[in-house]
Structure 1
Amino acid sequence: MPEGDSVWRAAKELHQALAGQVLLSSDFRVPRFATLDLSGWTVHEVVPRGKHLLMRVLESTAGNPSRALTIHSHLKMEGSWQVYAPGGKWRKPGHTARCVLRTASADVVGFSLGILEVLRTEDEDRVVGHLGPDLLGPDWDPDEALRRLVASPETPVGIALLDQSKVAGIGNIYRCESCFLSKVHPAVPVAAVPEPATILADAKRLLEANLGPGPRSTLGPRALRPGYWVYGREHQPCLRCRTPVRRGTLGKSPGLEERTIYFCPRCQPAP
């Protein structure tokens, strides 16, 4: 799954390329919307919601109010949106393209999208209404996010943090990193976490620190080079105590597959 900062950056790039532009053509390469033609529609805005992308388009008809539709996508594990100059050569295989939008100034292509659908903008709650407060969104409410997190006291905190209905935007990287900063093993039940609000605050701070260009890093501005505290560092020394970092898995839960976790066995003792 993508991290919230990746989706935020994708939305920013798409908005810059498309907002205010009239679509010259649209090509939806999924059966349900294969005949949909949005030629002549104007892209109003592209906004992120957790790990979802919402591309809002308007049709203005003389004498009638504008109709508003939303192109809703989710990248899942392998998806991406890419922006090209008109007629530019794609960097990914054509058979993986799921949506092609063309304007006078850009070709925008969605590759290997996990979810692609078009719905009325007024019905967006049907696809994103279940999400919790968005760590990078204008709706961020730390008190509500904490309330949702602690409402499942027996759930391992590492599983609860990935539950997008509790808090939107955290992926596996920030799950592992924020747990490390709080010295909490991801398998510890939420009820046993001393300061769950601190984990949420750390996740938000790390996400916000990675909204700009350049490689992702959670080590802060004083680090000699970009990197992570524990994520992807199996067998390497913990940057706090020098104990080798370990890799494990966290059990399945409804709607969530078993995922890899990284932790320091000394800084984050197992429950």
Structure 2
Amino acid sequence: MPEGDTVWLTAHRLHQALAGRVVTDFDLRVPQLATADLRGTTVTEVVSRGKHVLTRFDTGVTLHSHLRMDGSWYLSRAGQRPRKHPEFMIRAIVGNGEWRATGYRVHDLQLVERADEDRLVGHLGPDLLGPDWDVDLAVANLQRQPERTIGEALLDQRNLAGIGNMYKAEILFMRRTNPWTPVHGVVDLPAMVVLAQKLLRMNRDHPEQATTGLPGRGNEHWVFERVGQPCRRCRTRIVKADQGDPPYARITYWCPTCQPTADTTPPTP
């Protein structure tokens, strides 16, 4: 699933291409919106909210989309047919005289009045890359379920919006915290939240996502997707296990030495 910085960058690039320009090409290829036509309107802005993309028009209408696991927006010059994915994967097109934005396999497409956006994103916690970012509120949200494992709590977008599975694993390693540690057992929860925002902001302006600061391809991450490889700190082999209840369980990665077992014992890798 795309992380919050990827969604932020997507919205930023869409904003640069669409904002302030009159819509000349508009097509939503989902049954409930197939007759919608916003040609002749002007895009005022495109913003991200957590992992949601909101494209706002001067009529007061907002096009909502979510990338989920496999969605993407692709920009091409007007008049050029994008070739990133097959035609049948297209769900949305918003274009003007200069640019064409094509949404491939984007999900949860809805047209709502801007005043009703909260119906779609109002449940989210403070956005790590948004103007509403609030460390104290994010910490308070996490502490509402003190017995919940920190690995699951960080992924809950109702607590703070933008962290995905990669950043969750990396943040916990950098803070030497086992993923199964209860929230109440986390040492310096505010510092963990501050680190999360720092990492997303550090990576938001480019598609590459790195947390280690180490040069070279393959050195981007501490533990994420490195199962069986030696820990970059202590050389212990990285392990993985599912965390959470089906169907929402996610694979988590950790170093057994740098992130020792918490009060809640993780499954055997």
TM-score (norm 1): 0.93
Q: Partner of 2:125 in structure 1?
A: 132
Contact 2:239 2:254 in 1 (8 A): yes
1:196-236, Cα deviation, whole Å (9 max, x unpaired):
1122111111111102225210012xx22251010011111
Shift of 1:2: 1.2
Contact 1:234 1:247 in 2 (8 A): yes
- Find the residue that maps to 1:56 and give its secondary structure: strand
Q: Partner of 1:119 in structure 2?
A: 112
Contact 2:6 2:207 in 1 (8 A): no
Match of 2:61 among 59, 66, 69: 69
Contact 1:76 1:115 in 2 (8 A): no
Corresponding letter in the other structure for 2:4: G
Q: Partner of 2:75 in structure 1?
A: 83
Q: 1:158 & 1:189 partners in 2: Cα distance?
A: 9
Q: 1:199 & 1:252 partners in 2: Cα distance?
A: 24
TM-score (norm 2): 0.94
Q: 1:11 & 1:251 partners in 2: Cα distance?
A: 30
The yes-or-no answer on 1:270 pairing with 2:261 is yes
Corresponding letter in the other structure for 1:42: T
Gaps spanning 5+ residues in structure 1: where? 59-66
The yes-or-no answer on 1:101 pairing with 2:101 is no
Q: 1:70 & 1:193 partners in 2: Cα distance?
A: 39
Shift of 1:252: 1.4
Shift of 1:115: 1.5
Q: 2:207 & 2:17 partners in 1: Cα distance?
A: 20
Shift of 1:114: 2.0
1:138-175, Cα deviation, whole Å (9 max, x unpaired):
10000000000011001110000010010000000000
- Find the residue that maps to 2:125 and give its secondary structure: coil
- Find the residue that maps to 1:26 and give its secondary structure: strand
- Find the residue that maps to 1:73 and give its secondary structure: strand
Match of 2:205 among 189, 197, 212: 212
Q: Which runs of 4+ in 1 moved over 6 A?
A: none
Corresponding letter in the other structure for 1:193: V
How many residues are paired up? 259
Q: 2:260 & 2:158 partners in 1: Cα distance?
A: 28
Contact 2:178 2:259 in 1 (8 A): yes
- Find the residue that maps to 1:247 and give its secondary structure: strand
- Find the residue that maps to 2:155 and give its secondary structure: coil
Q: 1:250 & 1:199 partners in 2: Cα distance?
A: 19
Gaps spanning 5+ residues in structure 2: where? 263-269
The yes-or-no answer on 1:57 pairing with 2:57 is yes
Contact 1:235 1:246 in 2 (8 A): yes
Q: Partner of 1:150 in structure 2?
A: 143
Q: 2:5 & 2:156 partners in 1: Cα distance?
A: 17
Q: Partner of 2:24 in structure 1?
A: 24
Contact 1:237 1:243 in 2 (8 A): yes
Corresponding letter in the other structure for 1:22: V
Match of 2:152 among 155, 159, 173: 159
Shift of 1:89: 2.6
Contact 1:77 1:114 in 2 (8 A): no
Corresponding letter in the other structure for 2:254: F
1:9-44, Cα deviation, whole Å (9 max, x unpaired):
001110000000101121110111100110101000
Q: Partner of 2:265 in structure 1?
A: none
Q: 1:247 & 1:89 partners in 2: Cα distance?
A: 42
Match of 2:237 among 236, 240, 244: 244
Shift of 1:239: 0.8
Q: 1:251 & 1:148 partners in 2: Cα distance?
A: 19
